[in-house]
Amino acid sequence: MFAKKMFTRGAALIALTTASFSTLAEEVNIYSFRQAFLIEPIMEKFTQETGIKVNVLFAKKGLIERVKREGELSPADLVLTTDISRLVKLTSQDLTQSVNSDILNKNIPSQYRDPENQWFALTTRVRNIYSSADRVGPVDVTYQDLATPAFKGKICTRSGKHPYNVSLVASVIAHEGEANAKVWLEGVKANLARKPQGNDRAQVKAVKDGLCDYALGNNYYLGKMLANPKQVAWAEAVSINFPNQKTTGSHVNVSGVVLAKYAPNKENAVKLMEFLSGDVAQQMYAEVNYEYPVKVSVQPSKLVASWGQFKADVLPLAEIAKNHEAAVKLLDEVKFDL
């Protein structure tokens, strides 16, 4: 059971098993792929302002299957995810319902929400290319460059099947078509310094250790490493680069939220969704997790801002997400992880 390994307890954020989830009017229940400690301060603030208690069930995997299995009896009001692929999966499996909210539509740019109002982004994160600060320095680089001969034996990355990389491949398909994306993937694979492995932080460590000169990684991991005394040296060993600034712009993924199809506390859930898109929660997201607020008027943290401004890919995420299955297929075809 999830209850054995994943819960934290606070004044407003209470992690419970399904059996003890409540459907009282003053509560709202969340299934979360986002770690509880990251969202706890935000949920506590929501409770302070509204009097609505937030119950959170956290797990790294299996929540979509759980919601589907529970069906109409599910206590879940909202599902929080860490990437677009899970948002689309929830929607495609008919586990969500639309939310027509002027507040959400005002706070969240159209490219970061579902055209049918089934899912909404809450933060954005860039798929950056890190380079060795000593051996390379800052570079003007594109994702396409990673497949060129100049990068032979110089790239580290986590599994191609990880949602962050699947989304990147899907964006390449959206811009260039499947045939060109396959050629690109083959080129990137040929340039890898080692078999895909580990997480994004492990790639930065590999750059520090001299195993490679370039690594794919989300922007917020740099902030997390700088905040971790044991990993500061890793972070200081790399430069953070925003790819494709002269072409399509950097690929951006999102964390997001959906309203569960059978939400027992729908009204409270929508209030929480609107709160999460507002100034207070958006600023807290920025400061706590080094992500970019989805609400344009809210500024990133000082650390994140110090990395510089960048141009993001303007292609709607809904268009990119249509290519996720094709992206997984290509990754299998080129045997990227083998």
Per-residue pLDDT of the chain (338 residues), as tens digits, is 333 333 333 333 444 434 345 444 589 999 999 888 788 999 999 999 999 999 999 998 899 999 999 999 999 999 999 999 899 999 999 999 999 999 999 999 999 999 999 999 999 999 999 999 999 999 999 999 999 999 999 999 999 999 999 999 999 999 999 999 999 999 999 999 999 999 999 999 999 999 999 999 999 999 999 999 999 999 999 999 999 999 999 999 999 999 999 999 999 999 999 999 999 999 999 998 899 999 999 999 999 999 999 999 999 999 999 999 999 999 999 999 99
* Residue tagged 């249509």 (tokens): 322
DSSP letter at 299? P
Q: Helix H segments across 150-301? A: 163-176, 178-190, 200-208, 220-226, 232-236, 266-276, 279-289
What pTM, to 2 d.p., does this model score? 0.88
Predicted confidence at residue 23, as pLDDT, reads 47
Q: Which residues contact 125 (CB under 8 A, 6 or more apart)?
A: 218, 219, 220, 252, 253, 254, 255, 291, 292
Do the domains spanning 2-124+252-301 and 125-251+312-333 agree at the CATH topology level? yes
> What gap in Å lies between CA 191 and CA 335, rounded to an integer?
14
The dotted CATH code for 125-251+312-333 is: 3.40.190.10
Under a CB-based contact definition with an 8 Å cutoff, are residues 64 and 22 in contact? no
> What gap in Å lies between CA 53 and CA 44, rounded to an integer?
8
Under a CB-based contact definition with an 8 Å cutoff, are residues 293 and 252 in contact? no
> What gap in Å lies between CA 327 and CA 325, rounded to an integer?
5
Predicted confidence at residue 18, as pLDDT, reads 40
Between the alpha carbon of residue 79 and those of residues 52, 103, 123, 167, the distances in Å are 17, 19, 15, 20
* Residue tagged 């008919």 (tokens): 94
Q: Residue 63: which H helix or E strand, with range?
A: helix 63-70
> What gap in Å lies between CA 239 and CA 235, rounded to an integer?
8
> What gap in Å lies between CA 29 and CA 63, rounded to an integer?
13
307 is written with which tokens? 């990395």
Predicted confidence at residue 6, as pLDDT, reads 36
* Residue tagged 């890190």 (tokens): 130
Q: Residue 57: which H helix or E strand, with range?
A: strand 53-58
Spans of all domains in the chain:
2-124+252-301, 125-251+312-333
- Residues, the chain: 338
Under a CB-based contact definition with an 8 Å cutoff, are residues 44 and 12 in contact? yes
Fold of the domain built from segment(s) 2-124+252-301: D-Maltodextrin-Binding Protein; domain 2 (3.40.190)
Q: Helix H segments across 290-337? A: 302-305, 317-321, 324-333
Predicted confidence at residue 1, as pLDDT, reads 35
Cα angle at 99 between 97 and 102, to 5 degrees? 175
Predicted confidence at residue 25, as pLDDT, reads 56
